[in-house]
Structure 1
Amino acid sequence: MRPFISIIFSVFLFTPLLSWAQNLNGVEKVNGVEKINGVSFVATNQTLNSSDLNPVKDINANWITVMPFGFIRPNSAEVLYNSNYQWKGETVAGIKQTIRLAHQQQLKVMLKPHVWMRNQWIGDLSFSTEEQWLIFENSYTNYILEFAKVAEELNVGIFAIGVELKKSAILRPDFWRELSDKVRTVYSGKITYAANWDNYNNVSFWDKLDYIGIDAYFPVATAKTPSHDAFYAGWFSHYNAIKKFSYSQQKKVIFTEFGYRNIDYTGKEPWNQAINSTFNSIAQVNAYSAIFSRFWGESWFLGGFLWKWFPQHAKSGGINNNRFTPQNKPVEKAIKAFYTLTPPK
């Protein structure tokens, strides 16, 4: 990086740190629970070793999410998982290995099974017949309980019973209430559900869970390169709504996913992976610093898991990569700086 650019970023990172640090007194733990400074750790088809988690420790993260993907084929309702054709890191054996390595590194773990469909967002998943719904729900229950047992066996701290299954959560709430009860019979830790940012307040079964989980891709800015203050202001209505909802449910909030790409207009549609725009590291840094400034000092907010982090750190990200990962980009230093301000206890 050229010297003058480095100076710009140093000033850029330090200014929001000053204001944010003033609000952090005594909030490293909330009711005895440390702030979650997490990363969403991507599975691989390679064999991991503990050194693959060193870069996670280097940014002072204290939690990782591991994500065993399930799949639904086109024109099918059945959830498939733990298959020979998927990456070994997503299988039961691979997930267990990753959890064990994380614990060796004193990293806590959230286990968050995802269902994936080709050419369709899983939140739009719906069925026209009761028979199809039951095929989905029975296979999904088997999938979730399989990994809930893994979570119990390996002393996982948090287990998510679902991710962004928007229509299912709205149309079939009784299924989710029953599923949460079934998970409780095999897993003794904390449970949550990862709601999409636009419908966490439409989930009717938070009373069955320990935490409100939100995949926090809220639209917060429309400019090409918003300042930290512009991003911060853009959170105002969302922040107030989330805080009010947290108090109404008497549940603390986790951002089960959050993140921004290093592109122009990164705050306009943060969820949109298809946008192909100009590289913009400053916008990404500002977006991250603002979300930390807004939320990490709040007692009702437990922390979150950035999206996303790859095991082969040296080969991941970089300034010529405009995907979500912050690895080897200027924003990685910003994340480390903020995570250092709320150290693991």
Structure 2
Amino acid sequence: MKRARLPLLAVLPISVISFVVAVPFVAGDHPLRWDSGSLVPDLVLKGEDGTRSGGSSDRDGTTAASPSEHVAKVDNQWKKGMPQWGVQLYWEDNPHHPLEYVEKQARLHADYLVGLHANSVSVSFPFFTPGKTSTKITRGDKTPTPARLARVLRIFHEAGLRTTVRPLMDESSLDIADGNWRGNIAPTDRDAWFASYEKFLTPYLRAAHGEKAATFVIGTELNSMEGDQRWGKLVDNAEKAFGGEVAYDANWDNYVNGPITMPVNHLGIDAYFPVKVDDDASVKALVDGWDTWLDKKATGTLPKITIAEAGIGAMKGAYHAPGDFYTKRAVNPRVQANWYTAVCKVVQERKMSGVYWWSIYFDDDPTTKPDDKVASRLDFAGRPLTEKAIKSCFTSDYAGPGTDTAS
């Protein structure tokens, strides 16, 4: 899906609708199928409960480190089986910012998330490729180093937050005017691409392991690369470097349109389902709209699924295109707040593993009202109605999918 401050085109037209495009995936020599709401292993999982062995005992939130002096502490720390109530924090690093600034921002966001009653945070950050057919994966100036990432993860961990690490391919080099995006890259040598990708990921996997991150998202919206058997080796090696859960985040349309397989322990969805209703539609109408989409995949509960991204613009007409990151129509805070309320209800009624709202930018101050002359309409921090909806969601009595089904 498109990101507000990047020239991304992960939200592409489907028929006449402008949204994210995604493709089914089959990968590795031990693929799993996400179909009809259940996780069915084609071969045996690496752990009896859907997780790998070898993880640190405090990755389930039972033995988090004591908090730093300036960091608030969550009041209901995440444990296995509980819902992940979280936010996507997008970090385009500036190497000229001193570590003191990075730590200050991390504490600011930790305190804000604790104030929302979040128990989880996902740190997304960009990596780069020179072009659509390139075989190289590189860091850029905006990519935080593993050491700086580790410091941010430590601060969040000290606050009691469940942490996810989520590298995200930047699309600035992919000629988006011609419809290119991370989901249709076509490297000329896939062996070389996977080798380069693994070389890039490994230091971040080690940093995530060292700071006791719970999840590492091995790929997001890499549709054209899904279904490649080379994922099996990459994931196996990732599991040797990282003791937590290895996940993959897929696009919403691909999820509902077919079975998804990947040699990972958990699947997230970047979920931007269009609902054709007016701005004054009820929360129930929005829930019904989401259910119509999800029922294409499966009716009933979806305990193996996490909404890895959900968001919408606080503006008129947004229900028709929740993934529209660039349009700036007249601000309508109620549209965004009702959408958040509806998505939370869907997560609870479908007994999903949780939701992460898109997004907060690392350099922003989440306690200030967004400047709507320049800010993305998807920004929710500083919008009182949406923050109230998030707090209501995160303090609900939903207990989560349970330890028997949570992956």
TM-score by length of 1: 0.79
Structure 2 Cα separation of the partners of residues 155 and 57 of structure 1: 19
1:78 matched residue in structure 2: 136
1:273-312 Cα distance to aligned partner (Å, 9 max, x none): 122322111111111111111122433x100211002342
1:108-147 correspondence runs (5 A): 108-118=162-172, 119=176, 120-127=180-187, 129=188, 131=189, 133-147=190-204
- Residue 40 of structure 1 pairs with residue 125 of structure 2: no
Q: 1:261 to 1:112 in 2, by over 3 A?
A: same
> What SS is found at the alignment partner of 2:353?
strand
CA contact (8 A) 2:120 2:161 kept: yes
Instruction: Give the one of 358, 361, 365 matched to 1:310.
Output: 361
- Residue 328 of structure 1 pairs with residue 328 of structure 2: no
CA contact (8 A) 2:167 2:217 kept: yes
- Residue 298 of structure 1 pairs with residue 346 of structure 2: no
1:214 matched residue in structure 2: 269
Q: Say what the alpha-carbon RMSD is for the aligned residues.
A: 2.7
Paired residues, what number? Answer: 304
User: Percent identical across equivalent pairs?
Assistant: 22
Query: What is the CA-CA distance between 1:216 and the residue it aligns to?
Result: 0.7
> What SS is found at the alignment partner of 2:247?
strand
- Residue 286 of structure 1 pairs with residue 286 of structure 2: no
Amino acid at match of 1:40: Q
2:261 matched residue in structure 1: 205
Structure 2's unaligned 5+ residue stretches are 1-75, 95-100, 401-407
1:154 matched residue in structure 2: 211
> What SS is found at the alignment partner of 1:48?
helix
- Residue 266 of structure 1 pairs with residue 318 of structure 2: yes
Amino acid at match of 1:78: K
Q: 1:69 to 1:262 in 2, by over 3 A?
A: same
Structure 1 Cα separation of the partners of residues 215 and 300 of structure 2: 21
- Residue 99 of structure 1 pairs with residue 181 of structure 2: no
Q: 1:31 to 1:241 in 2, by over 3 A?
A: farther
Query: What is the CA-CA distance between 1:210 and the residue it aligns to?
Result: 1.7
> What SS is found at the alignment partner of 1:155?
coil
Query: What is the CA-CA distance between 1:238 and the residue it aligns to?
Result: 2.1
Amino acid at match of 2:357: L
Query: What is the CA-CA distance between 1:205 and the residue it aligns to?
Result: 2.9
Structure 1 Cα separation of the partners of residues 121 and 186 of structure 2: 30
2:221 matched residue in structure 1: 164
Query: What is the CA-CA distance between 1:269 and the residue it aligns to?
Result: 1.8
- Residue 52 of structure 1 pairs with residue 109 of structure 2: yes
CA contact (8 A) 1:63 1:109 kept: yes
Q: 1:203 to 1:78 in 2, by over 3 A?
A: farther
Structure 1's unaligned 5+ residue stretches are 1-27
Query: What is the CA-CA distance between 1:313 and the residue it aligns to?
Result: 1.7
CA contact (8 A) 2:301 2:350 kept: no
Instruction: Give the one of 247, 262, 283 matched to 1:228.
Output: 283
1:7 matched residue in structure 2: none
Query: What is the CA-CA distance between 1:204 and the residue it aligns to?
Result: 4.4
CA contact (8 A) 2:344 2:355 kept: no
CA contact (8 A) 1:126 1:167 kept: yes
> What SS is found at the alignment partner of 1:199?
helix
Query: What is the CA-CA distance between 1:181 and the residue it aligns to?
Result: 1.7
2:98 matched residue in structure 1: none
> What SS is found at the alignment partner of 2:350?
coil
1:7-28 Cα distance to aligned partner (Å, 9 max, x none): xxxxxxxxxxxxxxxxxxxxx9
Instruction: Give the one of 259, 263, 277 matched to 2:329.
Output: 277
Structure 2 Cα separation of the partners of residues 240 and 164 of structure 1: 22
TM-score by length of 2: 0.68
> What SS is found at the alignment partner of 1:331?
helix
Amino acid at match of 2:370: G
Structure 1 Cα separation of the partners of residues 264 and 222 of structure 2: 16
> What SS is found at the alignment partner of 1:101?
helix
Structure 2 Cα separation of the partners of residues 157 and 228 of structure 1: 32
CA contact (8 A) 2:283 2:339 kept: yes
